Amino acid sequence: MEDLINRVAAAAGIDSALASKAIGMILGFLQKEGPSEPVQQMLAALPGSTALIEQASGGGGGGLMGMVGGLMGGGIMGLGANLMGAGLDMGQISSVGKELIAFGREHAGEDVMGQIVGGTPGLSQFV
């Protein structure tokens, strides 16, 4: 998981703590909103992913943007608001998402990640 965190941090220009939180938030979103079986396959291929999800869910979204994300009731827009509330801008969110999906393809396979991207409402427009 350290490889992914470092890769995301470098791509997005953020520190590893924020990268870790953002990855956990996105993985948690996929776990909730994505197709169950492919998401479980991806999580199994990424050791340490469930710990990141637990850490990210414990802290909430943060501030006004986190409240906005909560009011939006989740979904991809709620995730975006929560990531902005954590301190990311749109460019950084895009970088984090693209690196996470690429890493998933490397470890879980193209088929699994294709099912996740295709089966998660709104995700395909961002990756």
pTM of the model: 0.87
Look at residues 26, 31, 9 and name the one whose alpha carbon lies nearest to residue 76.
Answer: 26
Q: What domain count does the chain have?
A: 1
Helices (H) then strands (E): counts for the chain: 8, 0
Domain limits at 71? 2-122
- Does 27 fall in a domain? yes
- Does 22 fall in a domain? yes
- Does 127 fall in a domain? no
pLDDT band at 5 (very low <50, low <70, confident <90, very high): very high
- The predicted-structure confidence for 26-66, as pLDDT tens digits, reads as follows 999 999 999 999 999 999 999 999 999 999 987 544 444 44
- The predicted-structure confidence for 59-98, as pLDDT tens digits, reads as follows 544 444 444 444 445 799 999 999 999 999 999 999 999 9
Q: How far is CA 70 from CA 60, 89, 98, in A?
A: 10, 18, 24
Which residues make Cβ contacts (< 8 Å) with residue 15, sequence separation at least 6?
A: 9
